Structure 1
Amino acid sequence: MRQFSFFDRLCNVADSALKTTFGVYDAQTRANPAANIEQPELSEQQSRHAASLMRINHTGEVCAQALYQGQALTAKLPDIRQEMEQAAKEEVDHLAWCSERIKELDSRESLLNPLWYAGSFTIGAIAGLAGDKWSLGFVAETEQQVGKHLESHLDKLPEQDHKSRAILKQMHQEELQHAANAIHHGAAELPKPIKSAMGLMSKVMTKSVYYI
Protein backbone atom coordinates (compact mmCIF):
# COMPACT_ATOMS: atom_id res chain seq x y z
CA MET A 1 0.00 0.00 0.00
CA ARG A 2 1.32 3.43 -0.97
CA GLN A 3 2.48 5.62 1.89
CA PHE A 4 1.32 9.22 1.41
CA SER A 5 3.48 12.12 2.53
CA PHE A 6 2.09 14.92 4.68
CA PHE A 7 1.89 17.11 1.56
CA ASP A 8 -0.05 14.37 -0.26
CA ARG A 9 -2.51 14.17 2.63
CA LEU A 10 -2.79 17.96 2.68
CA CYS A 11 -3.75 17.94 -1.02
CA ASN A 12 -6.34 15.23 -0.32
CA VAL A 13 -7.77 17.33 2.51
CA ALA A 14 -8.06 20.39 0.24
CA ASP A 15 -9.78 18.30 -2.43
CA SER A 16 -12.23 16.89 0.12
CA ALA A 17 -12.95 20.35 1.56
CA LEU A 18 -13.82 21.80 -1.84
CA LYS A 19 -16.02 18.84 -2.79
CA THR A 20 -17.81 18.79 0.56
CA THR A 21 -18.53 22.50 0.90
CA PHE A 22 -19.58 22.97 -2.74
CA GLY A 23 -21.63 19.80 -3.02
CA VAL A 24 -19.47 17.94 -5.55
CA TYR A 25 -19.42 14.34 -4.36
CA ASP A 26 -17.67 11.29 -5.75
CA ALA A 27 -19.83 8.58 -7.27
CA GLN A 28 -21.90 6.89 -4.58
CA THR A 29 -20.94 3.36 -3.69
CA ARG A 30 -24.40 2.60 -2.28
CA ALA A 31 -27.91 3.28 -3.49
CA ASN A 32 -29.99 5.92 -1.75
CA PRO A 33 -32.20 4.06 0.80
CA ALA A 34 -35.15 6.24 -0.29
CA ALA A 35 -34.69 5.64 -4.03
CA ASN A 36 -37.68 3.29 -4.39
CA ILE A 37 -40.02 5.14 -2.03
CA GLU A 38 -42.80 7.19 -3.59
CA GLN A 39 -42.65 10.98 -3.21
CA PRO A 40 -45.15 11.92 -0.46
CA GLU A 41 -47.85 14.57 -0.73
CA LEU A 42 -46.65 17.43 1.47
CA SER A 43 -48.08 20.86 2.08
CA GLU A 44 -45.81 23.85 1.41
CA GLN A 45 -45.21 24.27 5.14
CA GLN A 46 -44.44 20.57 5.64
CA SER A 47 -42.07 20.57 2.67
CA ARG A 48 -40.19 23.60 4.03
CA HIS A 49 -39.94 22.03 7.48
CA ALA A 50 -38.69 18.70 6.13
CA ALA A 51 -36.15 20.49 3.91
CA SER A 52 -34.87 22.50 6.87
CA LEU A 53 -34.41 19.34 8.94
CA MET A 54 -32.58 17.64 6.08
CA ARG A 55 -30.41 20.74 5.66
CA ILE A 56 -29.40 20.46 9.32
CA ASN A 57 -28.54 16.79 8.84
CA HIS A 58 -26.54 17.62 5.72
CA THR A 59 -24.52 20.25 7.59
CA GLY A 60 -24.00 17.76 10.41
CA GLU A 61 -22.43 15.42 7.86
CA VAL A 62 -20.29 18.29 6.53
CA CYS A 63 -19.01 18.79 10.09
CA ALA A 64 -18.36 15.07 10.54
CA GLN A 65 -16.48 14.95 7.23
CA ALA A 66 -14.34 17.91 8.31
CA LEU A 67 -13.68 16.40 11.73
CA TYR A 68 -12.49 13.13 10.20
CA GLN A 69 -10.30 14.89 7.64
CA GLY A 70 -8.69 17.06 10.31
CA GLN A 71 -8.00 14.03 12.49
CA ALA A 72 -6.65 11.97 9.60
CA LEU A 73 -4.19 14.76 8.80
CA THR A 74 -2.67 14.84 12.28
CA ALA A 75 -3.27 11.29 13.57
CA LYS A 76 -0.08 9.67 14.79
CA LEU A 77 -0.76 5.96 14.14
CA PRO A 78 -1.24 4.82 10.50
CA ASP A 79 -4.09 2.43 11.37
CA ILE A 80 -5.99 5.22 13.18
CA ARG A 81 -5.43 7.52 10.20
CA GLN A 82 -6.82 4.86 7.86
CA GLU A 83 -9.81 4.38 10.17
CA MET A 84 -10.57 8.12 9.98
CA GLU A 85 -10.18 8.21 6.21
CA GLN A 86 -12.47 5.20 5.78
CA ALA A 87 -15.13 6.73 8.03
CA ALA A 88 -14.94 9.97 6.02
CA LYS A 89 -15.56 8.01 2.80
CA GLU A 90 -18.63 6.36 4.31
CA GLU A 91 -19.99 9.77 5.34
CA VAL A 92 -19.92 10.89 1.68
CA ASP A 93 -22.93 8.65 1.04
CA HIS A 94 -24.81 10.49 3.79
CA LEU A 95 -23.91 13.84 2.28
CA ALA A 96 -25.16 12.77 -1.14
CA TRP A 97 -28.39 11.29 0.22
CA CYS A 98 -29.24 14.42 2.22
CA SER A 99 -28.35 16.68 -0.70
CA GLU A 100 -30.56 14.71 -3.07
CA ARG A 101 -33.51 14.85 -0.67
CA ILE A 102 -33.07 18.60 -0.10
CA LYS A 103 -33.28 19.16 -3.86
CA GLU A 104 -36.38 16.94 -4.10
CA LEU A 105 -37.98 19.21 -1.50
CA ASP A 106 -37.13 22.20 -3.70
CA SER A 107 -34.66 23.72 -1.26
CA ARG A 108 -30.88 24.25 -0.93
CA GLU A 109 -27.97 23.30 1.27
CA SER A 110 -26.83 25.68 4.01
CA LEU A 111 -24.89 28.78 3.00
CA LEU A 112 -22.95 28.40 6.25
CA ASN A 113 -21.36 25.06 5.32
CA PRO A 114 -17.86 26.49 4.60
CA LEU A 115 -17.83 28.13 8.04
CA TRP A 116 -18.88 24.95 9.83
CA TYR A 117 -16.42 22.87 7.81
CA ALA A 118 -13.53 25.15 8.80
CA GLY A 119 -14.44 25.05 12.48
CA SER A 120 -14.89 21.27 12.59
CA PHE A 121 -11.67 20.66 10.65
CA THR A 122 -9.74 22.79 13.15
CA ILE A 123 -11.21 20.86 16.08
CA GLY A 124 -10.35 17.56 14.38
CA ALA A 125 -6.76 18.59 13.66
CA ILE A 126 -6.24 19.74 17.26
CA ALA A 127 -7.76 16.50 18.57
CA GLY A 128 -5.39 14.52 16.36
CA LEU A 129 -2.41 16.41 17.72
CA ALA A 130 -3.60 15.78 21.28
CA GLY A 131 -3.31 12.03 20.71
CA ASP A 132 -5.18 9.25 18.99
CA LYS A 133 -7.25 8.24 22.02
CA TRP A 134 -8.56 11.82 22.32
CA SER A 135 -9.13 12.01 18.59
CA LEU A 136 -11.22 8.86 18.78
CA GLY A 137 -12.99 10.29 21.81
CA PHE A 138 -14.14 13.25 19.71
CA VAL A 139 -15.39 10.85 17.04
CA ALA A 140 -17.36 8.80 19.56
CA GLU A 141 -18.93 11.87 21.19
CA THR A 142 -19.69 13.55 17.86
CA GLU A 143 -21.38 10.47 16.44
CA GLN A 144 -23.39 9.93 19.62
CA GLN A 145 -24.63 13.53 19.51
CA VAL A 146 -25.44 13.19 15.81
CA GLY A 147 -27.38 10.02 16.63
CA LYS A 148 -29.51 11.93 19.16
CA HIS A 149 -30.22 14.65 16.58
CA LEU A 150 -31.29 12.06 14.04
CA GLU A 151 -33.64 10.43 16.57
CA SER A 152 -35.17 13.82 17.27
CA HIS A 153 -35.60 14.60 13.57
CA LEU A 154 -37.25 11.25 12.93
CA ASP A 155 -39.95 12.38 15.37
CA LYS A 156 -40.20 15.88 13.87
CA LEU A 157 -40.57 14.91 10.20
CA PRO A 158 -44.06 15.03 8.66
CA GLU A 159 -45.64 11.62 9.26
CA GLN A 160 -46.04 10.83 5.56
CA ASP A 161 -42.45 11.79 4.60
CA HIS A 162 -41.19 8.23 4.35
CA LYS A 163 -38.40 9.19 1.94
CA SER A 164 -36.63 11.47 4.41
CA ARG A 165 -37.30 9.00 7.21
CA ALA A 166 -35.67 6.11 5.31
CA ILE A 167 -32.50 8.17 4.82
CA LEU A 168 -32.30 9.25 8.45
CA LYS A 169 -32.86 5.72 9.74
CA GLN A 170 -29.96 4.41 7.67
CA MET A 171 -27.75 7.30 8.75
CA HIS A 172 -28.66 6.78 12.41
CA GLN A 173 -27.64 3.13 12.29
CA GLU A 174 -24.28 3.93 10.69
CA GLU A 175 -23.46 6.90 12.94
CA LEU A 176 -23.89 4.72 16.02
CA GLN A 177 -21.66 2.10 14.39
CA HIS A 178 -18.95 4.73 13.83
CA ALA A 179 -19.20 5.67 17.52
CA ALA A 180 -18.90 1.99 18.52
CA ASN A 181 -15.87 1.57 16.24
CA ALA A 182 -14.16 4.55 17.85
CA ILE A 183 -14.78 3.18 21.34
CA HIS A 184 -13.51 -0.25 20.23
CA HIS A 185 -10.25 1.33 19.03
CA GLY A 186 -9.60 2.97 22.42
CA ALA A 187 -11.51 6.25 22.47
CA ALA A 188 -11.00 8.29 25.63
CA GLU A 189 -14.00 9.58 27.56
CA LEU A 190 -14.08 13.34 26.97
CA PRO A 191 -14.29 15.66 30.00
CA LYS A 192 -17.78 16.94 30.74
CA PRO A 193 -16.99 20.61 29.90
CA ILE A 194 -15.83 19.57 26.40
CA LYS A 195 -19.00 17.52 25.87
CA SER A 196 -21.09 20.48 27.00
CA ALA A 197 -19.23 22.84 24.64
CA MET A 198 -19.79 20.42 21.75
CA GLY A 199 -23.48 20.25 22.62
CA LEU A 200 -23.71 24.05 22.68
CA MET A 201 -22.01 24.33 19.29
CA SER A 202 -24.43 21.74 17.94
CA LYS A 203 -27.41 23.80 19.13
CA VAL A 204 -26.03 26.94 17.49
CA MET A 205 -25.55 25.01 14.25
CA THR A 206 -29.05 23.53 14.21
CA LYS A 207 -30.75 26.84 15.00
CA SER A 208 -28.85 28.78 12.33
CA VAL A 209 -28.84 26.16 9.58
CA TYR A 210 -32.60 25.55 9.89
CA TYR A 211 -33.06 28.98 8.27
CA ILE A 212 -29.77 29.72 6.45
Structure 2
Amino acid sequence: MPFPSTDRLILGLDRALRTVSAQTRSSRPDPDAGMAEAVLSEAEKKHSAGLMRVNHVGEICAQALYDAQAAYSHAPEVARQLAHSCIEEEDHLAWTARRLRELNSRPSLLNPLWYAGAYTCGVIAAKCGDAASLGFVVETERQVEAHLEGHLRELPVADVRSRAIVDQMRVDEIAHGAAAQHLGAIAIPLPVRLGMKAMAKIMTSTAYYV
Protein backbone atom coordinates (compact mmCIF):
# COMPACT_ATOMS: atom_id res chain seq x y z
CA MET A 1 0.00 0.00 0.00
CA PRO A 2 1.60 3.29 -1.07
CA PHE A 3 1.69 6.09 1.44
CA PRO A 4 1.58 9.80 0.64
CA SER A 5 4.82 11.76 0.71
CA THR A 6 5.65 14.33 3.39
CA ASP A 7 4.83 17.12 0.93
CA ARG A 8 1.48 15.54 0.21
CA LEU A 9 0.74 15.20 3.92
CA ILE A 10 1.57 18.88 4.47
CA LEU A 11 -0.63 19.90 1.55
CA GLY A 12 -3.38 17.65 2.87
CA LEU A 13 -3.20 19.25 6.31
CA ASP A 14 -3.32 22.70 4.75
CA ARG A 15 -6.37 21.69 2.70
CA ALA A 16 -8.06 20.27 5.79
CA LEU A 17 -7.54 23.49 7.74
CA ARG A 18 -8.81 25.61 4.86
CA THR A 19 -11.78 23.31 4.38
CA VAL A 20 -13.06 23.31 7.95
CA SER A 21 -12.42 27.05 8.32
CA ALA A 22 -14.30 27.90 5.09
CA GLN A 23 -11.19 29.45 3.50
CA THR A 24 -11.84 28.05 0.02
CA ARG A 25 -12.42 29.73 -3.31
CA SER A 26 -14.24 28.57 -6.38
CA SER A 27 -12.40 28.07 -9.66
CA ARG A 28 -15.59 28.41 -11.70
CA PRO A 29 -18.21 31.16 -11.99
CA ASP A 30 -20.95 31.08 -9.37
CA PRO A 31 -24.05 29.26 -10.70
CA ASP A 32 -26.27 32.03 -9.30
CA ALA A 33 -24.22 34.91 -10.69
CA GLY A 34 -26.43 37.80 -11.79
CA MET A 35 -29.54 36.45 -10.08
CA ALA A 36 -31.45 38.86 -7.89
CA GLU A 37 -31.84 38.07 -4.21
CA ALA A 38 -35.41 37.01 -3.49
CA VAL A 39 -37.47 38.42 -0.65
CA LEU A 40 -37.88 35.47 1.72
CA SER A 41 -39.83 35.21 4.93
CA GLU A 42 -37.82 34.52 8.07
CA ALA A 43 -39.08 30.93 8.06
CA GLU A 44 -38.07 30.45 4.42
CA LYS A 45 -34.67 31.99 5.00
CA LYS A 46 -34.09 29.76 8.04
CA HIS A 47 -35.11 26.66 6.08
CA SER A 48 -32.88 27.56 3.13
CA ALA A 49 -29.99 28.15 5.51
CA GLY A 50 -30.53 24.79 7.18
CA LEU A 51 -30.51 22.99 3.85
CA MET A 52 -27.46 24.86 2.61
CA ARG A 53 -25.65 24.09 5.88
CA VAL A 54 -26.33 20.40 5.24
CA ASN A 55 -24.97 20.80 1.71
CA HIS A 56 -21.90 22.60 3.03
CA VAL A 57 -21.23 19.72 5.44
CA GLY A 58 -21.62 17.32 2.52
CA GLU A 59 -18.87 19.20 0.71
CA ILE A 60 -16.66 19.14 3.82
CA CYS A 61 -17.04 15.37 3.76
CA ALA A 62 -16.42 15.21 0.01
CA GLN A 63 -13.12 17.06 0.40
CA ALA A 64 -12.03 14.63 3.11
CA LEU A 65 -13.13 11.53 1.19
CA TYR A 66 -11.48 12.50 -2.08
CA ASP A 67 -8.29 13.67 -0.38
CA ALA A 68 -7.95 10.37 1.48
CA GLN A 69 -8.84 8.20 -1.49
CA ALA A 70 -6.47 10.05 -3.82
CA ALA A 71 -3.63 9.91 -1.29
CA TYR A 72 -3.91 6.14 -0.83
CA SER A 73 -4.91 5.09 -4.36
CA HIS A 74 -2.76 2.67 -6.33
CA ALA A 75 -3.18 3.80 -9.94
CA PRO A 76 -2.12 7.30 -11.10
CA GLU A 77 -5.22 7.68 -13.29
CA VAL A 78 -7.45 7.00 -10.29
CA ALA A 79 -5.58 9.57 -8.19
CA ARG A 80 -5.88 12.13 -11.02
CA GLN A 81 -9.62 11.63 -11.36
CA LEU A 82 -10.19 11.85 -7.63
CA ALA A 83 -8.10 15.03 -7.48
CA HIS A 84 -10.09 16.53 -10.35
CA SER A 85 -13.38 15.72 -8.64
CA CYS A 86 -12.00 17.20 -5.42
CA ILE A 87 -11.39 20.54 -7.18
CA GLU A 88 -15.00 20.69 -8.36
CA GLU A 89 -16.19 19.71 -4.89
CA GLU A 90 -14.14 22.64 -3.57
CA ASP A 91 -16.20 24.89 -5.83
CA HIS A 92 -19.32 23.50 -4.17
CA LEU A 93 -17.78 24.18 -0.77
CA ALA A 94 -17.12 27.81 -1.67
CA TRP A 95 -20.58 28.31 -3.17
CA THR A 96 -22.43 26.88 -0.18
CA ALA A 97 -20.27 28.80 2.32
CA ARG A 98 -20.98 32.06 0.51
CA ARG A 99 -24.68 31.29 0.32
CA LEU A 100 -24.80 30.64 4.06
CA ARG A 101 -23.31 34.09 4.67
CA GLU A 102 -25.86 35.67 2.36
CA LEU A 103 -28.62 33.97 4.34
CA ASN A 104 -27.11 35.40 7.55
CA SER A 105 -26.29 31.93 8.81
CA ARG A 106 -23.19 29.89 9.65
CA PRO A 107 -21.55 26.56 8.81
CA SER A 108 -21.96 23.54 11.08
CA LEU A 109 -20.16 23.78 14.41
CA LEU A 110 -19.16 20.14 13.98
CA ASN A 111 -17.17 20.56 10.76
CA PRO A 112 -13.87 19.25 12.19
CA LEU A 113 -15.69 16.11 13.34
CA TRP A 114 -17.37 15.63 9.95
CA TYR A 115 -14.03 16.04 8.17
CA ALA A 116 -12.19 13.59 10.42
CA GLY A 117 -14.90 10.95 10.09
CA ALA A 118 -15.09 11.26 6.31
CA TYR A 119 -11.30 11.14 5.95
CA THR A 120 -11.23 7.92 7.95
CA CYS A 121 -13.90 6.43 5.68
CA GLY A 122 -11.87 7.48 2.64
CA VAL A 123 -8.73 5.77 3.93
CA ILE A 124 -10.66 2.57 4.66
CA ALA A 125 -12.21 2.62 1.18
CA ALA A 126 -8.81 3.17 -0.45
CA LYS A 127 -7.25 0.30 1.49
CA CYS A 128 -9.83 -2.02 -0.05
CA GLY A 129 -8.29 -1.37 -3.48
CA ASP A 130 -8.98 1.06 -6.29
CA ALA A 131 -11.99 -0.82 -7.70
CA ALA A 132 -13.73 -0.87 -4.32
CA SER A 133 -12.70 2.72 -3.61
CA LEU A 134 -14.22 3.82 -6.92
CA GLY A 135 -17.32 1.82 -6.07
CA PHE A 136 -17.54 3.80 -2.85
CA VAL A 137 -17.43 7.00 -4.93
CA VAL A 138 -20.19 5.74 -7.23
CA GLU A 139 -22.47 4.88 -4.30
CA THR A 140 -21.65 8.12 -2.48
CA GLU A 141 -22.49 10.21 -5.53
CA ARG A 142 -25.68 8.23 -6.13
CA GLN A 143 -26.86 8.98 -2.61
CA VAL A 144 -25.76 12.62 -2.85
CA GLU A 145 -27.63 13.04 -6.14
CA ALA A 146 -30.84 11.77 -4.49
CA HIS A 147 -30.22 14.03 -1.50
CA LEU A 148 -29.76 17.11 -3.74
CA GLU A 149 -32.87 16.29 -5.73
CA GLY A 150 -34.75 16.25 -2.42
CA HIS A 151 -33.36 19.67 -1.56
CA LEU A 152 -34.50 21.05 -4.91
CA ARG A 153 -38.01 19.98 -3.93
CA GLU A 154 -37.69 21.43 -0.42
CA LEU A 155 -36.04 24.78 -1.08
CA PRO A 156 -38.42 27.74 -1.30
CA VAL A 157 -39.40 28.30 -4.93
CA ALA A 158 -38.43 31.95 -4.66
CA ASP A 159 -34.90 31.13 -3.48
CA VAL A 160 -33.56 30.87 -7.02
CA ARG A 161 -29.96 31.50 -5.96
CA SER A 162 -29.78 28.52 -3.62
CA ARG A 163 -31.62 26.40 -6.17
CA ALA A 164 -29.12 27.28 -8.92
CA ILE A 165 -26.21 26.26 -6.70
CA VAL A 166 -27.80 22.97 -5.70
CA ASP A 167 -28.71 22.12 -9.28
CA GLN A 168 -25.13 22.66 -10.51
CA MET A 169 -23.86 20.57 -7.64
CA ARG A 170 -26.24 17.79 -8.68
CA VAL A 171 -24.94 17.88 -12.27
CA ASP A 172 -21.34 17.68 -11.06
CA GLU A 173 -22.03 14.79 -8.68
CA ILE A 174 -23.58 12.77 -11.50
CA ALA A 175 -20.44 13.35 -13.58
CA HIS A 176 -18.15 12.31 -10.72
CA GLY A 177 -20.03 9.07 -10.25
CA ALA A 178 -19.94 8.34 -13.98
CA ALA A 179 -16.18 8.99 -14.13
CA ALA A 180 -15.56 6.59 -11.23
CA GLN A 181 -17.71 3.97 -12.91
CA HIS A 182 -15.74 4.36 -16.14
CA LEU A 183 -12.44 3.77 -14.30
CA GLY A 184 -13.56 0.32 -13.14
CA ALA A 185 -15.69 0.71 -10.02
CA ILE A 186 -17.20 -2.43 -8.57
CA ALA A 187 -20.48 -2.59 -6.71
CA ILE A 188 -20.04 -2.42 -2.95
CA PRO A 189 -21.98 -4.80 -0.67
CA LEU A 190 -25.52 -3.99 0.40
CA PRO A 191 -24.66 -3.73 4.13
CA VAL A 192 -22.05 -1.08 3.30
CA ARG A 193 -24.55 0.86 1.18
CA LEU A 194 -27.10 0.74 3.98
CA GLY A 195 -24.47 1.82 6.51
CA MET A 196 -23.53 4.78 4.32
CA LYS A 197 -27.18 5.77 4.06
CA ALA A 198 -27.65 5.56 7.83
CA MET A 199 -24.55 7.70 8.50
CA ALA A 200 -25.71 10.24 5.93
CA LYS A 201 -29.09 10.44 7.66
CA ILE A 202 -27.44 11.19 11.00
CA MET A 203 -25.22 13.82 9.41
CA THR A 204 -27.99 15.62 7.53
CA SER A 205 -30.46 15.68 10.38
CA THR A 206 -27.78 17.00 12.78
CA ALA A 207 -26.15 19.53 10.43
CA TYR A 208 -29.50 21.17 9.61
CA TYR A 209 -29.50 22.58 13.16
CA VAL A 210 -25.91 22.41 14.48
Query: How does the TM-score come out when normalised to structure 2?
Result: 0.97
Give, in whole Å, the separation in 2 of the partners of 1:36 and 1:11: 37
Task: After the TM superposition, list the runs of 4 or more consecutive aligned residues in structure 1 that deviate by more than 4 angstroms.
Answer: none
- 2:19: which partner in 1? 20
Q: How does 1:1-212 map to 2 (within 5 A)?
A: 6-25=5-24, 27-212=25-210
- 1:193 aligned partner, one-letter code: P
- For residue 164 of structure 1, report the CA deviation from its aligned partner: 0.4
In 2: Cα distance, 1:209 partner to 1:138 partner: 22
Q: CA distance change for structure 1 residues 172 and 5 in 2, over 3 Å: closer, same or farther?
A: closer
- What is the rounded CA distance, in whole Å, between the counterparts of 1:38 and 1:6 in structure 2? 46
Contact map agreement 1:75 1:81 (CA 8 A) in 2:
yes
* Residues 5 and 49 of structure 1: CA distance in aligned 2, closer, same or farther (over 3 Å): closer
8 Å Cα contact 2:135-2:188 kept in structure 1:
yes
Q: What is the RMSD of the two structures over their aligned residues, measured on CA atoms? A: 1.1
CA distances 1:110-164 after superposition (whole Å, capped 9, x unpaired): 0111101101101111111110001101111111111111000000001111010
CA distance in 1 between partners of 2:4 and 2:132 (Å): 23
1:5 is displaced (CA, Å) by 5.8
Shift of 1:28: 2.3
Most deviating of 163-172 and 7-16: 7-16
Q: CA deviation at 1:38?
A: 0.4
Q: For each residue in 1:70-107, what CA deviation from the matched residue of structure 2 results, as whole angstroms up to 9, or x when unmatched? A: 11111111121111111111111100111111110000
Find the residue that maps to 1:32 and give its secondary structure: coil
Query: Are the equivalent residues in 1 in contact too, given 2:31–2:168 (CA < 8 A)?
Result: yes
Would you say the 8 A contact 2:4–2:71 is kept in 1?
no
The whole-number CA distance in structure 1 between the counterparts of 2:150 and 2:26 is 26
* Aligned equivalents of 2:102, 2:26: Cα separation in 1: 18
Q: Indicate how the Cα distance of structure 1 residues 48 and 5 shifts in structure 2: closer, same or farther if over 3 A, else same.
A: closer
Letter in 1 for 2:67: Q
Cα pair 1:64 1:142 within 8 Å, conserved: no
Give the match's secondary structure for 2:52.
helix
Whether the 8 Å CA contact 1:30–1:93 is kept in 2: the answer is yes
Q: 1:5 to 1:172 in 2, by over 3 A?
A: closer
In structure 2, C-alpha distance between the alignment counterparts of 1:131 and 1:80, rounded to whole Å: 11
- Aligned pair count? 208
How far does residue 29 in structure 1 lie from its aligned partner after superposition?
Answer: 1.6
> What is the distance in 1 between the residues matched to 2:127 and 2:31?
36
Normalised by the size of structure 1, how large is the TM-score? 0.96
Quote the Cα distance in structure 1 between the aligned partners of 2:147 and 2:52: 11
